[in-house]
Amino acid sequence: CVLPSDVQTRGNVLLLIIILGIGGSFQMGYHITGLSSPSPFIQRFINSSWYDRHEEPPSPQTITMIWSLIVSMYAVGGLFGAISIKFVSGMLGRKKAVICNSLVAVVAAGIMLTSKGAKSYEMIIVARSLFGYSAGLGQSTHLMYLGEISLRKFRGIVTLTFAIFTSLGKLSGQFFGLSEIFGREELWEIVLCVPAILSVVQVLVLPFLPEAPRYLFIEKGDDKACKKALQTLWGDGDYKEEMDEMLAEQAAIEAAPPKSLLQLLWDRTVRWQLTTMAVICCCNQLSGMSAVRTEYLYSDTFSFDIFLNTGIPRDKIRYVTLGLGLCEIITSISCVSTRHPLLLLPVYMVSIFSYNVVFLQDSGYWVPYIATVLIILFIIFFCGGPGMCSTHHIGETVTHETKPVLSRVYLPSPLSQNALNSYCFVLFACVSLLGCLYTFFLLPETKGKTLMEISEEFKAIIVCGKLFKPREVETKL
């Protein structure tokens, strides 16, 4: 997915996309996989720190509890980061919110780097919480910023870069965790702080790039600054079509009072958008991709056992997963920009295939090889389908005033996988099939349409002969 050559040379949009990416979804992707390599070293550090304080070794339950806190506080911080997006972006603006978020990541890295010398595992917990907060706020502002700088005809391509940088972050987390790079006991704290370097780059470069044009026009009411920002990003032009679209959206916002999250949950005008966002996020989390990826953090998972059964040495499986991460990036970059719901079908079929392999895994020596091929196909189809489409589907299903309120954060969890073992793919197959039916029959096409047009299509959805369009009310329009 690349921008046309005339766009690349006439404006600074490509530079802004890269700067937003390295401080946004890249950070989230990196920390998803970055904790895998140093995990045994951190647990030994917990043991030695406890012994230095209490002069007795900690119990296995104590180490497990502290380690669980280190892992889980990232998700807790991410939740608070996502919740705070409306307040932070509304008070500071898009650009300043991104810069402040990067400063949080830099502070977290400083705490992480000094935790080893201070012999404090509490500092690791605090740093992980701040990393999570930065990831939750960063990915939300990243996606919002991308949607507000893009022209309508390039909106899909621009928002797809969110998923590309996420995949790049995951691959980087695996790469820097290799024992040949930083994946050694004396360097474990450095592995977790590598993304902070990119955060510093973002803090230094972003002030010289323009604010989001839609924010300037709709929230600040500065049409001249908006036009100047568009010209700086995309090159010379009058951009009348884009300005008219923003004007119509601004008029619609002024006709309705601002709403809180609870009010939006009861608002019939965005009910289908909320349902779509919930379905897309749930299907992404329960499609099986999280279970496939958990071999990054755990060595007793379905995927890990499959690779082991194919004859791959235990210490070489990390290189296999690195290759899968590279495959994920290649698929993401080479994808076709389209939002048709049929893109979701292939990954759901592969999930069902994986479900069949679960019941065949003890049938013969050939099953692990077939399962390995299916895992590779699963990643390819997921990254070329819902993994890429879900981000701009969510970005295009809501209008400007509801985006900060309806921002979300992914909180993947291996709990269901641990409880069901390989049979969790039965659950994944069922959820995926339901998601496929929903997107095929109900989700409207968003390509080449304005946000207001997409909103009207959602209002016109008919289920069982019933139109769920709200009653007309008298407005300023």
Cα distance between the two ends of the chain: 38
Q: Is 466 helix (H, G, I), strand (E, B) or coil?
A: strand
The pTM of this model reads: 0.78
Mean pLDDT calculated for residue range 371-400: 66
In angstroms, rounded to a whole number, what is the distance separating the alpha carbons of residues 295 and 308? 12
For 127, 182, 283, 325, the CA distances from 174, given in Å and listed in that order, are 20, 10, 25, 8
Tokens of 420: 């069901």
Alpha helices in 153-239 (DSSP H): 155-176, 188-191, 194-205, 213-214, 223-234
- The residue type of 471 is R
- The residue type of 163 is A
Tens of pLDDT, residue by residue over 407-455, are: 544 444 444 444 555 566 677 777 777 777 777 777 776 666 666 677 7
Q: Is the pLDDT of residue 291 over 70?
A: no
Is the CB of residue 129 less than 8 Å from the CB of residue 15? no
Is the CB of residue 144 less than 8 Å from the CB of residue 403? yes
Tens of pLDDT, residue by residue over 240-260, are: 888 888 888 777 776 666 666
Residues 60-98 as b/e (b if ≥16 CB within 10 A, e otherwise) read eeebeebbebbbbbbbbbbbebbbbbbebbeeebbbebb
Same fold, 1-209 and 258-477: yes
Is the CB of residue 374 less than 8 Å from the CB of residue 350? yes
Instruction: Determine whether 110 is exposed, middle or buried from the number of CB atoms within 10 Å of its CB (0-12, 13-18, 19+).
Output: middle
Q: 25, 167, 189, 174: which is closest to 101 by C-alpha?
A: 25
pLDDT of amino acid 303: 61
pLDDT of amino acid 10: 54
More confident residue, 402 or 261: 261
Residues 269-285 as b/e (b if ≥16 CB within 10 A, e otherwise) read bbbbbbbbbebbbebbb
More confident residue, 396 or 82: 82
Is the CB of residue 142 less than 8 Å from the CB of residue 168? no
At residue 286 the predicted structure's pLDDT band, cuts being 50, 70 and 90, is confident
Spell out the CATH class of 1-209: mainly alpha
Tokens of 131: 């990393």
258-477 folds as: Growth Hormone; Chain: A; (1.20.1250)
Q: 183, 177, 45: which is closest to 122 by C-alpha?
A: 45
Maximum Cα–Cα distance across the chain: 74
Tens of pLDDT, residue by residue over 18-27, are: 999 999 999 9
DSSP bridge pairs for 171: none
pLDDT of amino acid 438: 77
CB atoms near residue 364 (< 10 Å): 10
Q: Which of 186-200, 262-276, 387-401 has the highest mean pLDDT?
A: 186-200
DSSP secondary structure of 297-341: T-SSSHHHHHHHHTT--GGGHHHHHHHHHHHHHHHHHT------G
pLDDT of amino acid 416: 47
Mean pLDDT, the chain, integer = 76
Mean pLDDT calculated for residue range 180-205: 92
Could you give the percent of the chain with pLDDT greater than 70? 69
pLDDT of amino acid 277: 76
- Domain ranges in the chain are 1-209, 258-477
